[in-house]
Structure 1
């Protein structure tokens, strides 16, 4: 592909990404893969170049663009070399008309920028949400120690006890160490939220929103493979992916429990009042993950935010029934909005007097309400809010 053809390809992919975002369709990475699956003439260098153009354009736009071309024109601003490729040649985009629409810049749609600002996230803090993320891994303490583990690439130690950082796109999943379950891909901030659980061998621990089990595996390592660890979710397909991961990690203690939406307590009946710890990695807006999924900010609406905050509130109430006296709830969202963090926890503490906030001593993050917030700008992690609540 010529450089101009790569730009035209990026415009076409952006059109598909924008359409999917408006309709709630496939995420950008899947749209990208599908586009190239139908065009096998493109080589690996073409794919990388087009991918960079697509994601750079997504990051350059705040509100959802009118079109892929408008998004690319936003990226073109100030880049004469890129602008010169709009020459109307074979497989090239048409020449630029000074009067045609150009996508708006910014961090996010206006309402969402205001919500972030009211939550103390603006300026450089907000812009850092659109940086490219590195690749972090967690060394599996059930099988290895971070110090002395030999990997194909030397990693940078993270504040998380078993964390290592590598450049983006490091092929970790092709390593023997990954195949043998010695390492798992997990953001350093996510690892710290698991450390906040302080899970101990012999405890009964519930991961209430386990998904495919990334945090569950970290909890299993903290428990040294001893005790009862129950991974719950309402998504059968995601939960089914945990079993092979647990086998690879050497974590047979993990149980999986499929729940019905809005009827979770029916499946959890035998665990009521028995858990030392319940982790709620709650469904959320995902504002803390934009470095990895920058088009996600085009999918979020005020209605969707209200929906997920309602789920978070209900999950806190469910978790409160599962914990024995003296036990703890660890509430986590990958969001920087107070509505999904400090405000959510404060509302729970007001409505249930049996609970109080516990002090978190993490090697990253800043206090925010009754918990701690980690951000890309300050901590180099994805954005997270985490609070630990103790039943008294």
Structure 2
């Protein structure tokens, strides 16, 4: 493909990504995969170049752009070498009209950037949210030890602050390795590994992962339990939860039991577990502001109304989870968000409304206190952004 054809393809994919962000459609990675599948003439170098153009434009534009062309023109303003490709050729973009709209550069929509600032995320930390993320994996203790894995992967860096973490360069094709295919390693950000460790689960425990999703933290919790105990993996998303059995089988995890819940009926369906769990983990649905390094278009999806709905869901899940914890047991609340509305403020409200509960130190090796929890950020701690709070039942 010519440089002009690559830019035109990037523009078309950006159009689809912006529309999906507006309508809560598929993620950018999904749209790119579908787009390349329908453009089989694009070779591997073409796909790599187009992907880089698309994500560079997404990271540059704080507001959702009016069009893919407006986003690419914004990128051309900071990369003048791209301007020559707007040549009007058969497979390239039309020549540039000085009067046509150009998307604005920025970290995030203005209202959202203000929320981050009010939550103590300064300009440098906000910029770090859009840096390119490394690839972190977790050594699965049920099958391997990090030291042995590190000897097999000379490009991997064992992280001092996360006992099972290995960090690879961003483009590593880890899914092609025998170690991944046999369940010795799982892809999991180092911050996610740390907050899973904060649960403090032990062999023989009864643990409920209330928002298990596809099971990333479930697998980490089960490994910490050494496959001994009851690990209930719950979620309302059938498609995501259906991925857990195959992942658990690959990882050698046998103590996890998936449980599909109906939205709004979670408390009723979990009635048999009231007051029985040693640990309840709530990895709550959230804005994902801490994961923009991996999903930069997510900031185009968020609105004040959607943020309010997420906060209401988080409050509901905290109330459901609290009923399940045995006396003296642990409730671990986690969001991959840096907004106080989803983190520190939620825990302050929970503790006001639930007498006798107490916040305890999650004892993370890195992180900064935020309210009655701890926050991890890409800029300060080289992880995805997380807020975690650990609370003990009366």
* Structure 1: distance between partners of 2:41 and 2:95: 25
Unaligned runs of 5+ in 1: none
- Classify the secondary structure of the residue corresponding to 2:341: helix
* Structure 2: distance between partners of 1:79 and 1:257: 50
Matches within 5 A, 1:40-59: 40-59=40-59
Unaligned runs of 5+ in 2: none
Aligned residue pairs total: 392
Residue 270 of structure 2: aligned partner: 268
* Structure 2: distance between partners of 1:260 and 1:90: 52
In terms of mean alpha carbon deviation, does 283-292 or 93-102 score higher?
93-102
TM-score (norm 1): 0.98
1:115-138 CA deviation, whole Å, 9 max, x = no partner? 111001121100111111110000
What is the CA-CA distance between 1:79 and the residue it aligns to?
2.0
Matches within 5 A, 1:21-100: 21-100=21-100
- Classify the secondary structure of the residue corresponding to 2:228: coil
Residue 136 of structure 1: aligned partner: 136
Residue 368 of structure 1: aligned partner: 370
Residue 253 of structure 2: aligned partner: 251
Given the alignment of the two structures, is residue 323 of structure 1 paired with residue 317 of structure 2, yes or no?
Answer: no
TM-score (norm 2): 0.98
Residue 5 of structure 2: aligned partner: 5
* Structure 2: distance between partners of 1:194 and 1:269: 25
* Structure 1: distance between partners of 2:37 and 2:226: 43
What is the CA-CA distance between 1:152 and the residue it aligns to?
4.3
Residue 157 of structure 1: aligned partner: 158
Q: Match for 1:313 among 312, 315, 319?
A: 315
* Structure 2: distance between partners of 1:153 and 1:48: 25
Residue 20 of structure 2: aligned partner: 20
* Structure 1: distance between partners of 2:54 and 2:259: 39
Residue 240 of structure 2: aligned partner: 238
1:322-372 CA deviation, whole Å, 9 max, x = no partner? 001110100000000000000000000000012110012211111000000
1:67-111 CA deviation, whole Å, 9 max, x = no partner? 111100111113221111112123121221222111011111111
What is the CA-CA distance between 1:185 and the residue it aligns to?
0.2
RMSD: 1.0
What is the CA-CA distance between 1:4 and the residue it aligns to?
1.2
* Structure 2: distance between partners of 1:298 and 1:183: 32
In terms of mean alpha carbon deviation, does 380-389 or 352-361 score higher?
352-361
What is the CA-CA distance between 1:27 and the residue it aligns to?
1.2
Residue 382 of structure 2: aligned partner: 380
Q: After TM superposition, where is structure 1 displaced by more than 3 Å over at least 4 residues in a row?
A: 150-154
- Classify the secondary structure of the residue corresponding to 2:375: strand
| Contact 1:342/1:369 (<8 A) preserved | yes
* Structure 2: distance between partners of 1:60 and 1:313: 33
From the superposition, tell whether residues 171 and 153 of structure 1 become closer, same or farther in structure 2 (CA, over 3 Å). farther
* Structure 2: distance between partners of 1:38 and 1:44: 14
